[in-house]
């Protein structure tokens, strides 16, 4: 029996929590997927564009009929100005998915700290102020984040012939790491020049995720899904001092797949994400600010396969993003909209080539600054 509801709860579980995770596939199917992506965002009136070239690589290996082993890794080069660039990789995620029964799945994973840490000030600014701005959705917004481990379990219940309910819970542990390192000189009270180095250990808070999802197979041409996720974050520490506690996150994703005619289909996805107030270090302890600076985030994407030739085809792509940005230093909304084209070319039963390109445009901070982006990808998938 195929593990039902893999398109809802489980894909949400393993693909949205970490950018480098791998979606679950059917039993006994393995694949290698890799390619090269280029993303560029240019913000006026800034002269220099924010660029990234990445090589996302995913491996799914079926160990047995009930166990799959996944590995993901993304080397990337990011640059902004002449002297502001990073060449490194993501942390490496290794994960086991174990089918306990036809309805239950156990998930265990480790993040090996292969990504770059101890960034200098220009690299830290590039990642935190630019690559990590959510609306850009860079392939690799963060490089090294230290060792991490996760484990969870999910269960699928058939409610009716065409309706399936999935639930799951997951715990993520994160270790301390050193995100920033730089040295500076200063004059002391003795009138002499001294040197000092900033190199403090940062411990991100652990995380608990609770998930639920519903699959509805309306007919042979239409399927609908709804996924819900609640995330609870523990406190962050800087050298054993409580400095930050993230607000709790709620996310809902509604998806539709509709086959217009044989071989031609429409996929659409609507995502809503919101967080409660963060707690910040004020004087000697964490406090809630008077305003919740975590704005709501809404994304809508769709693709339409309008040309079909066997397992190959051409797709129209649509992408829109609305992020409510309430931070005091950059108030306003981020709005992006765009589209492009995608090509799927089936070389044979094992090899598939993938190409897509999108052009995005919009504004940051409620029109204070215009922005445009180019997103391209060329890669292949090998099944075995």
Dump the DSSP string for 284-338: TEEE--SS-----EEEEEEEEEEEEETTEEEEEEEEEEEEEE--TTS-EEEEEEE
Per-residue pLDDT tens over the stretch 186-235: 666 666 766 667 788 999 999 999 999 999 999 989 999 999 999 999 99
Per-residue pLDDT tens over the stretch 345-363: 999 989 999 999 999 999 9
Per-residue pLDDT tens over the stretch 82-106: 778 899 999 999 999 999 998 899 9
Beta strand 67-73 pairing with 57-62:
antiparallel
285 or 278: which leads in pLDDT: 278
Asked if residue 59 lies in contact with residue 112, where contact means CB atoms within 8 angstroms, the answer is no
Asked if residue 371 lies in contact with residue 364, where contact means CB atoms within 8 angstroms, the answer is yes
* In the predicted structure, residue 8 carries a pLDDT above the cut 50: no
Residues 291 and 278: their CA atoms lie apart, in Å, by 10
CATH top-level class for 6-383?
mainly beta
Indicate the domain borders of the chain.
Answer: 6-383
Q: Which residue bears the tokens 């990789």?
A: 89
Q: Which residue, 299, 366, 379, is CA-closest to 326?
A: 366
What mean pLDDT value characterizes the chain?
85
Asked if residue 342 lies in contact with residue 355, where contact means CB atoms within 8 angstroms, the answer is yes
- Kindly report which listed range (44-53, 135-144, 243-252) carries the lowest average pLDDT score: 44-53
């Amino acid at each position: 029996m195929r593990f039902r509801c893999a398109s809802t709860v489980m894909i949400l579980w393993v693909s949205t929590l970490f950018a480098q995770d791998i979606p679950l596939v059917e039993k006994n199917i393995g694949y290698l997927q890799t390619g090269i992506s280029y993303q560029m965002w240019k913000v006026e009136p800034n002269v220099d564009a924010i660029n990234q070239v990445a090589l996302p690589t995913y491996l799914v290996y079926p160990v047995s009929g009930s166990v799959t082993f996944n590995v993901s890794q993304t080397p990337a080069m990011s640059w902004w100005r002449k002297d502001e660039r990073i060449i490194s990789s993501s942390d490496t995620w290794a994960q086991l998915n174990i089918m306990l029964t036809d309805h239950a799945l156990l998930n265990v994973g480790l993040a090996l700290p292969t990504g770059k840490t101890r960034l200098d000030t220009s690299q830290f600014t590039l990642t935190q102020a630019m690559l990590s701005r959510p609306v850009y959705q860079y392939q690799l917004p963060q490089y090294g984040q230290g060792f991490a481990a996760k484990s969870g379990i999910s269960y699928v219940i058939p409610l009716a012939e065409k309706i399936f309910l999935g639930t799951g819970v997951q715990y993520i542990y994160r270790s301390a790491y050193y995100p920033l390192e730089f040295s500076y000189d200063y004059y002391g009270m003795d009138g002499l020049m001294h040197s000092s180095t900033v190199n403090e250990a940062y411990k991100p808070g652990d995380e608990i995720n609770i998930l639920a999802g519903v699959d509805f197979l309306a007919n042979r041409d239409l399927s609908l899904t709804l996924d819900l996720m609640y995330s609870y974050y523990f406190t962050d520490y800087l050298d054993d001092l409580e400095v930050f506690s993230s607000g709790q996150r709620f996310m809902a994703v509604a998806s539709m797949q509709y086959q217009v005619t044989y071989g031609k289909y429409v996929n659409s996805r609507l995502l809503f994400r919101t967080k409660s107030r963060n707690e910040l270090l004020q004087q000697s302890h964490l406090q809630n600010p008077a305003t919740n600076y975590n704005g709501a985030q809404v994304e809508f994407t769709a693709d339409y396969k309008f040309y079909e030739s066997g397992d190959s085809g051409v797709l129209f792509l649509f992408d829109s993003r609305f992020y409510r940005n309430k931070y005091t230093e950059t108030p306003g909304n981020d709005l992006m909209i765009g589209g492009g084209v995608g090509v799927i070319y089936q070389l044979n039963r094992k090899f598939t080539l993938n190409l897509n390109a999108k052009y995005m445009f919009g504004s940051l901070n409620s029109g204070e600054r215009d922005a445009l982006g180019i997103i391209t990808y060329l890669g292949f998938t090998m099944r075995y």
